[in-house]
Structures are given as C-alpha cells and as structure tokens.
Amino acid sequence: MQKLINGFHQFRTTVFPRERQLFRSLAHHQQPEVLFITCADSRVVPHMITQSRPGDLFVCRTVGNQIPQEREMDDAVSSAIEYAVEALGVKHIVVCGHSDCGAMKALLRPERVAKLPATAAWLRHASAAKSLVMHQHQDANENAVLRLLEEENVLVQVENLKTHASVASRLRNGDLQLHAWFYEIASGEILTYNLDEECFSPLAMAKTQLGGAA
C-alpha cells in the first residue's frame, strides 16, 4: 500500500504541475472518443498500452471483459455503456481481451471457481464462446484451446454489446464503430480482428472496424 501512497506523492509533486493545464481543462468536462471495455486483470493497463491521456478513454472493466446482453439487466455494465454512448457520444467502442486470462482459464476448468460462486455465475456470459471453441476444435491441446477461447470471447462480447439499444441505435445511424482487440501480455502486441481474413492480426496491419460507418 505504501507504494500507492508514494506514487500519489510523486504524481502530485511532479506529474500534476507539468500537466496542470490539461487537468484544468478537464475539471468540469469530459469528451472521450473511445469507450474501452477490458478485463479487470492488473496486467492490462489501457492508458499505457494505447499511450492515452486523461480524458481520452472512458473505461469499463469486468472480469473476463464480459458484457452481459441487455436483457440480463446488469446495471453496472449497461449504465457504463449507455452513459458513454448516449451522454458522452463516444465514436468508438473497443472490446479488448488478453492472453493468460484467468476468467477464460476458469471457464475451461470450472473447478477453479468451485468456491467462487459469483465468479462462476458471471462466467455464463462467455459460455457461447466456450461452446463454439469446444465444438470446432475438439483435438486442440489445452493451451491452444485457451487462446482460441480468449479470442472467441472478444467476438462474443462484441455481439453482446450490439444487443444494447443505445449501441444498436448508434450503429444504425452509422456514427459508432466497434473494434475487437486482443492484448498479448508477454509480447506487448495488440491484435485486432480482421474481417477479411476472419482472424486476429497485428493492429497496425489490419482494418479494425466491426460495425458502424464504412
């Protein structure tokens, strides 16, 4: 905990004075262009991996970057989406999964969360991804299945995102774009889903858009 307190001290004495103008401009207003939805994992740091600044990203973090469908009535996630899309008018939504995801490991081995009932229940939002991967890749080894599941989960969550009325409406208007990203912890690489090749490929090389205006 002392590390956090020391960090705050450094921020207050070094970083804040340097960025005083930025923080002043943000004091009563935010207009982020991007809603960034990712896993709660401590190793995934949205602002660091995208080199974003305060005010750039509206961030929603859930275990396994899962997004319940709107009919599931999950107020926490639904309100974050609604506020970003309706009130802030974000232009892009990024759903970002990652390698070595504990939630996806637990989905493959439910015994890992036998004593974590809330987590076990929450993982149902990725069950469609598991069914798909298990059906299509019956002979793959465990590491390969994990990676396939981590990637498929991002696509399933993008589909869940589209069930939200606010998102569906903006997509119909053509002024919102969805992006499926995957962050590799060990390499620092970001992959994005390539619609033409139907696979994830390095971000710089690919079209990232999954929905919205052409």
The helix or strand, by DSSP H or E, that contains position 209, with its residue range, turns out to be strand 209-211
Structure tokens of 174?
């053509």
Between 49 and 103, CB nearer to Zn ion:
103
Q: How far apart are alpha carbons 178 and 96 in whole angstroms?
A: 11
Tell me the site size for Zn ion, rule CB under 5 A: 4
Coil, strand or helix at 105: helix
Task: Select the residue interacting with Zn ion from 39, 80, 95, 210 (CB under 5 A).
Answer: 39
Identify which of residues 38 and 192 has a Cβ nearer to Zn ion in the complex: 38
List Cβ neighbours of 70 (8 Å cut-off, separation of 6 or more): 78, 163, 164, 165
Query: CA-CA distance, 162 to 168, in Å (whole number)?
Result: 6
39 vs 95, which CB is nearer to Zn ion?
A: 39
Minimal distance in Å, beta carbon 211 to Zn ion? Answer: 23
Site for Zn ion in 50-89 (CB under 5 A): none
Choice from 41, 70, 150, 151 touching Zn ion (CB under 5 A): 41
Per DSSP, the three-state class of 21 is: helix
Return the range that interacts with Zn ion (CB under 5 A); candidates 16-24, 41-49, 69-77, 204-212.
Answer: 41-49
User: Shortest CA distance to 118 belongs to which of 44, 40, 37, 38?
Assistant: 40
Candidate list 37, 77, 96, 101; residue touching Zn ion; CB under 5 A: 101
Minimum distance of Zn ion from residue 206's CB (angstroms): 22
Cα separation of 156 and 74, whole Å?
A: 17
The burial class, CB within 10 Å (0-12 / 13-18 / 19+), for 198 is exposed
Q: Is 106 in the site for Zn ion (CB under 5 A)?
A: no
Given the complex with Zn ion, which of 58 and 182 has the nearer CB atom? 182
Is the Cβ of residue 103 or residue 210 nearer to Zn ion in the bound state? Answer: 103
Q: How far is the CB of 208 from Zn ion (least distance, A)?
A: 21
End-to-end CA distance of the chain: 47
Closest CA to 205 of 98, 193, 214, 184: 193
Q: Which of residues 190-209 bind Zn ion (CB under 5 A)?
A: none
Least distance (Å) from Zn ion to the CB of residue 102?
Answer: 6
Binding interface with Zn ion (CB under 5 A): 39, 41, 101, 103
